[in-house]
Amino acid sequence: MALMADHHSLAVAFGVLGNIISVLVYLAPLPTFYRIYKKKSTESFQSLPYQVALFSSMLWLYYALMKKGAFLLITINSFGCVVETIYIAMYIAYATKNSRVSAIKLFVAMNVALFSFIIILTHFLVKGSIRVQVLGWICVAISVSVFAAPLNIVARVIRTKSVEFMPFNLSFFLTLSAVMWFAYGLFMKDLCVALPNVIGFVLGMLQMLLYAIYRNSEKVIEEKKIPEQMKGVVVFSTLGPSEVYPVGVDIEPDVKPKEDTTENEQTGEPDKNDVKCLEDSSECPV
Output the CA torsion sign for 42, 45, 48, 49: negative
pLDDT tens, position by position, 22-59: 999 999 889 989 999 999 999 888 898 899 999 999 99
2: confidence class by pLDDT, cuts 50, 70, 90 = low
Question: How confident is the model at residue 146, as a pLDDT?
Answer: 76
Burial class (CB in 10 A: 0-12, 13-18, 19+), 34: exposed
| Type of residue found at 194 | A
For the cut 80, the answer to whether the pLDDT of residue 225 exceeds it is no
Q: 26 with 82: CB under 8 angstroms?
A: no
Using only C-alpha atoms, the chain has a radius of gyration, in whole angstroms, of 27
pTM of the model: 0.76
Closest listed residue to residue 212, CA positions, set 177, 159, 149, 163: 163
Phi, psi of 215 (to 5 degrees): -65, -30
Q: 46 with 209: CB under 8 angstroms?
A: no
User: From the CB of residue 257, how many other CB atoms can be counted at a distance below 10 Å?
Assistant: 5
Of the chain, the percentage scoring pLDDT greater than 70 comes to 73
* CB contact burial 137-146 (16+ within 10 A = b; e otherwise): ebbbebbeeb
For the cut 70, the answer to whether the pLDDT of residue 222 exceeds it is no
pLDDT tens, position by position, 79-126: 999 999 999 999 999 999 999 999 999 999 999 999 999 999 998 998
Rounded Cα distance between 280 and 277, Å, is 5
Of the chain, the percentage scoring pLDDT greater than 90 comes to 51
Stretch 138-158: mean pLDDT? 82
Mean pLDDT in the chain? 80
pLDDT tens, position by position, 180-190: 999 999 999 99
Angle at 73 between CA 16 and CA 56, to 5 degrees: 130
Least confident of 10-14, 65-69, 249-253, 272-276: 249-253
